[in-house]
Amino acid sequence: MTWNPTGWFFLDTYREGVITMRVSAVGVRTARPRAAVLLSLLVVALLAPSAPFAHTGTAQTRHDRAAADGEVTLRVGIQQEFDSLNPFLGFSLAATDVFRLIYPTLTTYAPEDFSVMPELATEWTSSPDKLTWTFRIRKGVSWSDGEPVTAADVVYTFERMMNDPAAATANGNYVDNFAEVHAPDARTVVIRTETPQATMRSIAVPIVPEHVWSGVDDVAGFANQRMPVVGSGPFVATEYRPQQYLTLEANEDFWRGPPTVDRLRFVNFENSDAAVQALRKGDIDVARELTPAQFDALDGARDIERVRGKGRRFYEIVLNPGATNSAGSPIGTGHPALRDVRVRRAIDHAVNRAELVDRVLGGYGTVGAGYLPPIFRRYYWSPPEEQRRSFSIEAANRALDEAGYPRGPDGIRRGPSGKPLDFEFVLHGDSATDALVGEFVKEWLARTGIRVRLLPVSDNQVNQRTTAGDFDMVVSGWSVNPDPDYVLRLQTCGARPDPGGGGLPDSFLCDRRYDELYRRQLTEFDESERVETVKRAQRRFHEMATGLILFYPNALEAYRADRFSGFLRQPAERGVITAQQGYWGYYRAEPTERARTAGGGGGYRSAALALGGALLLGGLVVAAVTVHRRRTAEHRE
């Protein structure tokens, strides 16, 4: 660049400063023209790089869109950095989305309805005692370096997770119950579990190539950034620039057939507004995790199609029912009144979910009911009319009166021990949603004679307080997998923290009947029986009212309709494009004719060369003029 002349200006002024006594001679030089030259140089230097692009802007964009004739790149804006590209370590949403694209899994979820379907495993059987599972591995699948994918790779992956604690970081819970894994032949994997486990058909562990990973001694220290990454999914990761972008090329040999696009690129944005602007401009094709305001603003935008998908997430308020650890000893600072299920139910009556969806989510969400979100239709349960606790401050007041919590002179209700119902409500400090929910709930509960003190803290502290039981009320929420086992387990006695830490509790519900239902669904291999049991577990959870499910936020996305006519969404009904439980959205994107036929590049190179030449020439001229001036000036001295 041309900073040298300007930098020189600065130093030169200095030199003059030191030799002030000789000014009579220096004064001969004319100052104004030089200053003007420098200023114009500055302006040119700052703005020049843009000038040629202004004229060739379309050419440059076109180049970006299609490196060669007919090639299509799908560019997805993401707002989260990959925590790691190592599938044993990374478990951020962004990372798992990539692992699904580059590594095979035994089974996957169908795009239509999340039903389990074959992926690397073509079929599977279980022994009569449900302890031994046999998976048949697909024939003719190969890694991107040409090696065949065999049962040995699967065994290697699971065994590594079972034997190397570092390798268990991301998906260790899947192999917790594994007793032994072996491969009787190259096409067969046999897994023996300690106890029967209904979730064996949905092990979402990325399978890695043994011939690559057996050379990795320290999994924890392995970034897996040597490109191209050896995988066997529909795409191959080929270029990674941290915090900028990750490029994946289509795997032409993918056993299900090559993807519809030639290239997939995840582009990092540090703020969602910039991602939206990039979408408007056409720099990216898909933007996700939009806020309701951004989603509304994109209404009617040219060439942009909006997707309002059902979300996988539920959002709840946890009421501390008297937390205990796995040894059964009470822990934490929960308010005694909340141990009374009647108080918890009364609080539920005082929460206006419809208003929360309307005011907090801008209408982009579903009113909360059962534990599992309605995107999973099969397991979805909502309380029947007679069990529903609809919003009614009067009903809440009545229930509290009947339960024996009279109001004190200050209007705050008192418990049997005379302790006022004064609850600490822990919120995620950086979440706008939490802040709004907190304000609303505080207001509603005040009308029932319950005082709420809002306590916004860092995410880390929320987690720590939740684990330690140090809260009266806390905001919580989970993303639910197609198999509900994981979130159902959160409410069991077994999820309570060990005396020495560990464990991952949610609401500290430790209820014999719930646990019995949980155990039954885990060992129930009849699909419809299992669904029924899961629904009954949700009913029990609702009865106990330790977690008040507020809403299920929508997943808001938008894409360039001029470049893509559609995506395979999951589920078929009001599904999402990105962050699916599978690779369908990216794999079966539908580029438009326009995206395919956009001309090749070339504009960029000529523009760049023209600009470079101009800058170089300009720099030379300026340098020559300046040197000439200085010479002249020195002569005059």
Partner 1 sequence: MTDTLEHGGTRRSGTVPRTLGFVARKLGGAAVSLGLVAVLGFFLFRVLPGDPARTMTRSAPVSAEQLAQLRHRFGLDQPLYAQFRDFLGNLARGDLGTSYTYNRPVTELIGERLGPTVLLVGTATVLAVLLGLWLGTRAAWRHGTATDRWFTSVGLTLWSVPTFWLGLLLLMAFGVGVGPLPGLFPVAGMSSPDVPPGVLPRVLDVAHHMVLPCVTLVAVIHAQFMMVMRSSLLEEMGAEYLTTARAKGLRDDAVRRGHAVPNALLPTVTLVFLHLGMVVAGAITVETVFSWPGLGLLTYEALRVPDLPLLQGTFIVLASSVIVMNTLAELLYRVLDPRVRA
- Segment near partner 1 (CB under 8 A); pick from 138-146, 540-548, 568-576, 608-616: 608-616
**Residue 558 binds partner 1 (CB under 8 A):** no
> Looking at 539-599, which runs of residues are DSSP E strands?
547-553, 555-560, 564-566, 590-591
User: How many H helices and E strands in the chain?
Assistant: 21, 21
Assign residue 303 a region: left if phi > 0, alpha if psi is -120 to 50, beta otherwise? left
433 binds partner 1 (CB under 8 A): no
CB of 170 to partner 1, least distance (A): 7
Among 116, 436, 454, 611, binds partner 1 (CB under 8 A): 611
Least distance between partner 1 and beta carbon 393 (Å): 34
From residue 434, give the alpha-carbon distance in Å to each of 29, 317, 361, 429: 66, 10, 11, 8
* Stretch 196-235 residues interacting with partner 1 (CB under 8 A): 220-221, 223
- Scanning residues 7 to 26, which ones bind partner 1 (CB under 8 A)? 7, 9-10, 13-14, 16-18, 20-21, 23-24, 26
Q: Among residue numbers 276 through 295, which ones bind partner 1 (CB under 8 A)? A: 277-278, 280-281, 283
Q: Does the protein bind partner 1 through residue 172 (CB under 8 A)?
A: yes
Asked whether position 112 contacts partner 1 by CB under 8 A, the answer is: no
The residue count for binding partner 1 (CB under 8 A) is 97
Residue 50 interacts with partner 1 (CB under 8 A): yes or no: yes
Site for partner 1 in 450-479 (CB under 8 A): 458-461, 463-464, 467, 478
Nearer to partner 1, 108 or 467 (CB): 467
CA 424 from chain center: how many Å?
29
DSSP 230: P
Check binding of 68 to partner 1 (CB under 8 A). no
Whichever of 265 and 344 has its CB closer to partner 1, that residue is 265
Q: Closest CB to partner 1 among 28 and 621?
A: 28
Nearest-approach distance from CB 585 to partner 1, in angstroms: 21
Q: Using the rule CB under 8 A, which residue among 275, 369, 421, 589 binds partner 1? A: 275
Pairing of the two strands 245-250 and 451-457: unpaired
Please choose, from the candidates 245, 205, 247, the residue with its C-alpha nearest in 3D space to the C-alpha of residue 227.
247
Residue 23: φ, ψ to 5°: -60, -30
Beta strands 422-428 and 451-457 are: parallel
Contact criterion met (CB below 8 Å) for 213 and 110: no
For CA atoms 226, 91, 588, 562, the dihedral sign is negative
> Is 503 one of the binding residues for partner 1 (CB under 8 A)?
yes
* Residue 12 or 529 having the CB closest to partner 1: 12
Closest alpha carbon to 594 in 282, 130, 372 = 282
For residue 573, give the 3-state DSSP assignment. Answer: coil
Contact stretch for partner 1 (CB under 8 A) within 45-53, 134-142, 371-379, 392-400:
45-53
Placement of tokens 């994981």 in the chain: 486
SS3 of 447-498: CCCCEEEEEEECHHHHHHHHHHCCCCEEEEEEECCCCCHHHHHCCCHHHCCE
- Per-position x/- string for 329-358, each x denoting binding to partner 1 as judged by CB under 8 A, each - no binding: ------------------------------
Single out the residue of 132, 173, 177, 291 in contact with partner 1 (rule: CB under 8 A): 173
96, 193, 197, 268: residue in contact with partner 1 (rule CB under 8 A): 268
Closest to partner 1 by CB, 38 vs 454, is 38
**Shortest spacing between CB 267 and partner 1, in angstroms:** 7
Q: In the numeric block, which tokens belong to residue 296?
A: 């509304």
Contact string (CB under 8 A) for partner 1, positions 582-601, x = contact: -------------------x
Q: How far is the CB of 257 from partner 1 (least distance, A)?
A: 26
HSE on the CB side for 390, CA within 13 Å? 3
Task: Tell me whether the omega of the peptide bond preceding residue 571 falls within 30 degrees of 0, making it cis.
Answer: yes
> In the bound complex, what is the minimum distance in angstroms from residue 225's beta carbon to partner 1?
9
Choices 6-14, 119-127, 387-395, 401-409 (CB under 8 A): range interacting with partner 1: 6-14
| Rounded-to-integer distance, Cα 70 and Cα 262, Å | 9
Nearer to partner 1, 82 or 444 (CB): 82
Nearer to partner 1, 110 or 487 (CB): 487
| Nearer residue to partner 1 within complex by CB, 66 or 396 | 66
**Binding residue for partner 1, selected from 8, 35, 163, 523, defined by CB under 8 A:** 35
User: Closest by alpha carbon to 89, among 220, 241, 231?
Assistant: 220
Least separation in angstroms between CB 500 and partner 1:
5
- Report the alpha-carbon distance of residue 439 to residue 356 in Å, rounded: 11
| Tokens at 284, concatenated | 């990216």
Of 245 and 391, CB closest to partner 1:
245
CA distance 141 to 186: 12
Stretch near partner 1 under the rule CB under 8 A, chosen from 164-172, 407-415, 573-581, 582-590: 164-172
* Total length of the chain: 637
Nearest to 202 by CA among 117, 274, 142: 117
The contacts of residue 478 (CB under 8 Å, 6+ apart) are 313, 314, 487, 490, 506
The residue within the footprint of partner 1, chosen from 70, 122, 165, 637 (CB under 8 A), is: 165
CB of 172 to partner 1, least distance (A): 7
DSSP 119: S
Residue pair 271/79 in contact by the 8 Å Cβ criterion: yes
| Residue 100 contacts partner 1 per CB under 8 A | no
Residue from the set 74, 76, 161, 168 that interacts with partner 1 by CB under 8 A: 168
Would you count residue 394 as binding partner 1 (CB under 8 A)? Answer: no
If the CB atoms of residues 190 and 608 are measured against partner 1, the closer one turns out to be: 608
Contact 557, 508 (CB under 8 A): no
What CA–CA distance (Å, rounded) separates 139 from 122? Answer: 9
Closest CB to partner 1 among 110 and 301? 301
609 binds partner 1 (CB under 8 A): yes
Identify the three-state secondary structure at position 149. coil
Q: Which is nearer to partner 1, 248 or 545 (CB)?
A: 248
Among 59, 63, 233, 541, binds partner 1 (CB under 8 A): 63
